[in-house]
Amino acid sequence: MENENKIVYYSIGEVSNILDVKESTLRYWEKEFDQLKPKRSDSNRRVYSNDDIEMIKKIMHLLVDMKYTIAGAKEELEKEELEKDNTHSVNIIESEKTEEIPSKNILSKEISSSGVSSKEISSSGVSSKEISPIDLLTGEKEKKRKDYNKIRSELEGILDMLDEDE
């Protein structure tokens, strides 16, 4: 029973052997990924917890199995952290429910300022009560992507007209 609560730490050599990863690779990943920060012992040696080992497994999965670049893996881990933080924030908000509930007008203003139209919301089958901060951000990105594609197609049309004139 006492051993269940005891935190176990592993040396870099042990982690290297367990995961079949070179020690130099582990040190490199530590520099590259903010999410991987093993503690240091009194003698300044790296000591890896089970959480550190799980993070290394995630990094390995992204880089080796999924063939992500370092930059792509960083982005994916940051995205995962953001989603985890937002989920945590939503849980806190839900646990601290107040009697004040925003009116539909306030919600509509928030949605319209995010760039997501009510038509897009209704066509996606999502009610306004189900919209999360992540959805609002994604809606903004999607709007920018559509605007970019519209501008690109207009420029292509202009270039085609110029080619016809020549």
Q: What is the pTM of this model?
A: 0.51
Q: Is the distance from CB of 48 to CB of 36 less than 8 angstroms?
A: no
Q: How many CB atoms are closer than 10 A to CB 45?
A: 13
Which of 25-34, 97-106, 115-124, 130-139 has the largest mean confidence?
25-34
Residue pLDDT, tens place only, 14-66: 999 999 999 999 999 999 999 999 999 999 999 999 999 999 999 999 999 99
CB-count burial class (<10 Å; 0-12, 13-18, 19+) for 46: buried
Q: How many CB atoms are closer than 10 A to CB 154?
A: 10
